[in-house]
Structure 1
Amino acid sequence: MGLPKSMDLRCLLLNIVFISVVNAMLAFGIASQDERRCSVGRIEKLMRIRCYNMDLKEVPQNLKTSVEVLDLSYNRIRKLKSGSFQRYTDIKFLMLYENMILSVEPGTFAPLTALQEVDLSNNGLTTIPMELFALPRLRNLYVDSNELRELHQDLETLQRPIRAPLEYLNLANCDLHDIPDLGILPNLWQLNVSANPLTNFHIEKLANLCHLRVIDLTRTQIDSCDCQQVTNHLMTIGANPKFVPVCMDSLDSSVCPLPYNRTVNSETFRGCMDSAELAEVRSLWLFGAGCFGGVFLVILVLWYCIHRWRKRRAHRRLSQSIQNRKHFVISPRNATNNRMEDEPLHCDTASA
């Protein structure tokens, strides 16, 4: 009977040791995770904070408010709240790809008026937050690999023309059946809509993109006529048809008419060109006004410096003349008792 008791005691001791080791490992793991911090550095003179792959469930609120490049990719953020970026208004580049973002509260991106690029790819979004299109400096937008099944409905409430000067838009693999109608985009030069069905594609949508240079239509299901029309349109405006599927069949113009009357010669295309020219003229005016303002400021500063110098020189001359001037003093003869009451006072000139 003694042997089983000793074995039970050994098993008990082994269990205690095992539990202690497991608890220590868990405690060490938790401590190590808590000790992890976002790295801070600079990239092209911009302050970058990298919170990459840290198992974050929300946007941290203890970062430096002057951050300009914020990397929150590969985390577990499910929801972006209206106050998520309220403290970080200087953000220019924001990486949120490979998270679990399912929803975005209204007003989340509104404080980011300096934002130039945002990457929301590989999340669970069903639409694009419409407030992104109101940001005055947003140039690059990545929302690829999201099932944007509600985008078409939300675009009905979008105010056009949008304020964001989009130059690059990535909508690849978003289960889209047509190119989204964002209105006239005079600055957009590259559009990626690859890996989408695009079964309802219409060539007229390209009239909104008068400065388009690259469009990626690979792995789409557009028919032969649409394919040929896109190729002809791109060649007409001098764009690159490299990422358009090769049209094997040469279709007759009666079957597949050239799109020039619906794109290049359309009112929409001309309106896009006018918007681009107006923006260029406005930019030149702003540049000229800035130069004039700078020259005027320099002239004003020079005039102020000259005015101050002249004033100081006149003050020095006046001080010097006062020092060199002979002073008059009251004569001692005025103190005598013999001076008649009506006798004028005597003045002596001080010796130099």
Structure 2
Amino acid sequence: MELRCLLLNIVFISVVNAMLAFGFANLDEEKRCSYGRIEKLMRIRCHAMDLKEVPQSLKTSVEVLDLSYNRIRKLKSSSFQRYSDIKFLLLYDNMILSVEPGTFEPLTALQEVDLSNNGLTTIPMELFQLPKLRNLYIDSNDLRNLHHDLQLLETPIGAPLEYLNVANCELHDIPDLGILPNLWQLNASLNPLSNFNVDKLGNLCHLRVIDLTKTQMSPCSCQRVTNHLRDIGANAQFVPLCMEALDGDACPLNYNRTVDSPTFHSCLASAELAETRSFWLFAAGCFGGSFLVLLVFCYCIHRWRKKRQNRRLSQAAQNRKHFVISPRNATNHRLEDQPLHCDTA
């Protein structure tokens, strides 16, 4: 009897080990992901579950996916193929070291992604081509060599970025992403920025808030940033305050290098073109909708008139007196040239 129990225990342990080896244990972890809704969006929260990869048995209609505080080391090209409806993706505080090409391509509805506090050494370039990406958090990664990868970046980027967080990434200059007409807030704090080039602010014609706290910018660079932001009416709240204005010879004004630069005017032109395009698209949509409503209205009127006409004809047919053959026509004495007699019923 004891031998039999021992054999059963051995078999049970073997089965459990096999399940762990083939990843069946992840099914239990995935079941523990909480489902809910946030602002009418389908949310799945797999927060702090010690996951080592992106679960593949979640509902494909997920729109907000929280995978933060896990142990994911690598994002594969198949990680999000089943979840193309994701709009908000949280991947902060993982152990992500690499991202395979094509990982984010299926996420055409993605509006915000948080990849902060990982081990990335570059930003996946395909993120910059997502058509709806507005907010990108990539802070607290080691991106000191990012400028090498950005040399191959196709500009202008397709993503309509509005907020970019690259704080604490060991950057020596703000990233050069080309003209960003929609970007209004940039967080580049906690970076050395020893090679900061104020000319790049010409790409950000609608910048309103910039955080450059705890950086190693030179006093002249600080003064130029402050002057630039004041000139465009931006918020200098989070800019290192330059208490004393520097001599113009030591730090020339940068108006001709930023606000009056061809890049700045090209940025403004891009923003105006996008605004004009949006207006005409809106107008075309309104016109098309109104025209469709008018067509439906006319069709309904036509159907109503036709039904009313048919109803009147039917009523007239019912009220009409019916004619029957007169019995006089059946007599044998009727001449052939005499007309037939009809009686009304």
The normalised TM-score by structure 1 is: 0.86
Contact 2:144 2:172 in 1 (8 A): no
| Partner residue in 2 for 1:178 | 173
- Whichever of the two has the greater Rg, that structure is 1
The alpha-carbon distance between structure 1 residues 125 and 323, as it changes in their structure 2 partners (threshold 3 A), is same
Q: What is the rounded CA distance, in whole Å, between the counterparts of 2:338 and 2:255 in structure 1? A: 109
Shift of residue 249 of structure 1?
A: 4.9
| Matching of residue 277 in structure 1 with residue 244 in structure 2 | no
String of CA shifts for 1:68-117, please: whole Å, max 9, x gaps: 11111111111112221122122111101111111111221112111111
Q: List aligned pairs for 1:2-21, cutoff 5 A.
A: none
The alpha-carbon distance between structure 1 residues 95 and 344, as it changes in their structure 2 partners (threshold 3 A), is farther
Q: What is the rounded CA distance, in whole Å, between the counterparts of 1:32 and 1:187 in structure 2? A: 41
| Partner residue in 2 for 1:348 | 342
Q: List aligned pairs for 1:135-174, cutoff 5 A.
A: 135-174=130-169
Q: What is the rounded CA distance, in whole Å, between the counterparts of 1:194 and 1:298 in structure 2? A: 52
Residue aligned with 2:151, SS: helix
Contact 1:329 1:347 in 2 (8 A): no
- Out of 312, 318, 322, the position equivalent to 2:313 is 318
Q: Which amino acid aligns with 2:305?
A: R
- Out of 37, 42, 45, the position equivalent to 1:47 is 42
| Partner residue in 2 for 1:234 | 229
Contact 1:224 1:249 in 2 (8 A): no
| Partner residue in 2 for 1:199 | 194
Identity of aligned residues (%): 74
- Out of 67, 70, 73, the position equivalent to 1:75 is 70
Contact 1:69 1:92 in 2 (8 A): yes
Q: List aligned pairs for 1:21-40, cutoff 5 A.
A: 34=28, 36-40=31-35
String of CA shifts for 1:231-259, please: whole Å, max 9, x gaps: 11111111122222233554211111011
Count of paired positions: 328
Cα RMSD for the two superposed structures: 2.5
Q: What is the rounded CA distance, in whole Å, between the counterparts of 1:102 and 1:300 in structure 2? A: 57
| Partner residue in 2 for 1:5 | none
Q: Which amino acid aligns with 2:38?
A: I
Q: Which amino acid aligns with 1:346?
A: L
- Out of 114, 117, 123, the position equivalent to 1:119 is 114
- Out of 193, 213, 220, the position equivalent to 1:218 is 213
Q: Which amino acid aligns with 1:34?
A: D
Residue aligned with 1:64, SS: coil
- Out of 304, 327, 341, the position equivalent to 1:309 is 304
Shift of residue 350 of structure 1?
A: 3.6
- Out of 286, 292, 316, the position equivalent to 1:297 is 292
| Matching of residue 260 in structure 1 with residue 221 in structure 2 | no
Contact 2:33 2:45 in 1 (8 A): yes
Q: What is the rounded CA distance, in whole Å, between the counterparts of 1:279 and 1:152 in structure 2? A: 28
Contact 2:160 2:182 in 1 (8 A): yes
Q: Which amino acid aligns with 1:80?
A: L
String of CA shifts for 1:116-135, please: whole Å, max 9, x gaps: 11101011111111111111
Q: What is the rounded CA distance, in whole Å, between the counterparts of 1:156 and 1:172 in structure 2? A: 21
Unaligned runs of 5+ in 2: 1-5, 18-23
| Partner residue in 2 for 1:4 | none
Give the stretch that moved more between structures: 201-210 or 246-255: 246-255
Q: What is the rounded CA distance, in whole Å, between the counterparts of 1:315 and 1:88 in structure 2? A: 54
| Partner residue in 1 for 2:239 | 244
Q: Which amino acid aligns with 1:101?
A: I
String of CA shifts for 1:2-48, please: whole Å, max 9, x gaps: xxxxxxxxxxxxxx9xx9xxx9xx99xx9899365111111111111
Unaligned runs of 5+ in 1: 1-15
Contact 1:326 1:349 in 2 (8 A): no
The normalised TM-score by structure 2 is: 0.88
Q: What is the rounded CA distance, in whole Å, between the counterparts of 2:238 and 2:284 in structure 1? A: 42
